[in-house]
Structure 1
């Protein structure tokens, strides 16, 4: 299965508290991204998720007690069992790829200059995915996809099921969201439409 087929239509829960993590374990969602956690908790969380058949991404730039460089990434992949790494840092993503973890470039769209720089970085790095932020700016996805050919995710400022739908309609293969209620409502509505 190609990576973009595996992720087609995925809603990825952004998790920053233990309560959210416990909710993720009981949810229908397969993928979660850990942020704001201390390194001492990560191994146990990954093991618990894997026992439930779930996959864990680390937003390496937003975790505590782990270096946000290639050494921290190598540790996250090899010792902590991360299934993928999200970062804005090129060396981190290169290391993730070398360690057979998904490498997801986080691209912040602030203005045209940041967009063009991000496209250049994407073409140089060839990450597995690019997460475009804010996700509500999904109208720019076709432009980025044409210039890079990399599967795109959306995240940031997405609060409603309709906004998730808009991201998928614009060509995102996955959407990252911290609002589990909106994610579940979107997922339930999608199930109903497919029946």
Structure 2
């Protein structure tokens, strides 16, 4: 799958909504044109209903596995999510990403890039199992770091974290980020970016 075709699965612009509360989730379903939503809350009891709502609105849920309560953080938990209908997830844990790939899920590996050693470790980690994309945090990483990530992993580079203004989003995009995720509802309308 090319970078462009992968990105079209997630977004049709530079911003992927990432709601933290049910009210924002409902807003993202009904008031945004984004084809995917990154879910930053839920548990195994409420997830089936959220998946059904997303399907009704023709949106893909990307479940943030590290923030999902009640699913074992192991192979059995990933299999449970696959049976529920989860088709995409984001995680900081590469072993869970590997299990999700085995289940045919889209996997986004989240990396916290706090220094050069974290960058080096992150590149090694993703090259060991090849997720579908990376999400780098914070979104304000320098253009040279984005370029190095893209060159050394050959993956689409998403970013999130510390995005508060439209200028923050624009700066991330100028630095080479393919798309950003944000929980700030006021940044979800990207039609004029």
Give me the TM-score of the superposition, normalised by structure 1.
0.89
Which of 115, 129, 134 matches 2:138?
134
Unmatched segments (≥5 aa) in structure 1: 191-195
For 1:131 and 1:4, locate their aligned partners in 2 and report how far apart those are by CA, in whole Å.
Answer: 16
Moved over 6 A (4+): none
Residue equivalent to 1:172: 177
Q: For residue 192 of structure 2, what is the aligned residue in structure 1? A: 189
Q: Any idea what SS the aligned residue of 1:105 has?
A: strand
Using the size of structure 2 for normalisation, the TM-score is 0.90
Distance 1:138 1:130 in 2: 15
Asked if 2 retains the 8 angstrom alpha-carbon contact of 1:39 and 1:65, the reply is: yes
Distance in 2, Cα, partners of 1:55 & 1:104: 14
1:147 to partner: Cα distance: 1.3
Distance 1:12 1:98 in 2: 25
1:20 matched to 2:24? The reply is: yes
| 8 Å CA contact retained: 1:11, 1:31 | no
Question: 2:86 maps to which residue?
Answer: 82
Structure 2: runs of 5 or more not aligned = none
Give the equivalent residue in structure 2 for 1:40: 45
8 Å CA contact retained: 1:10, 1:174: yes
Residue 154 (structure 2) pairs with residue 149 (structure 1)? yes
**Alpha-carbon offset, residue 10 of structure 1:** 4.2
How far apart are residue 71 of structure 1 and its match? 1.9
1:3 CA displacement: 4.9
Return closer, same or farther for 1:80/1:138 CA change in 2, 3 Å cut-off: farther
The structure with more helix, counted as a fraction of residues: 1
Residue in 2 that maps onto 1:94: 98
Corresponding residue for 1:109?
113
RMSD: 1.6
Mapped partners of 2:3, 2:148: distance in 1: 21
Measure, in 2, the Cα distance between the counterparts of 1:48 and 1:129.
25
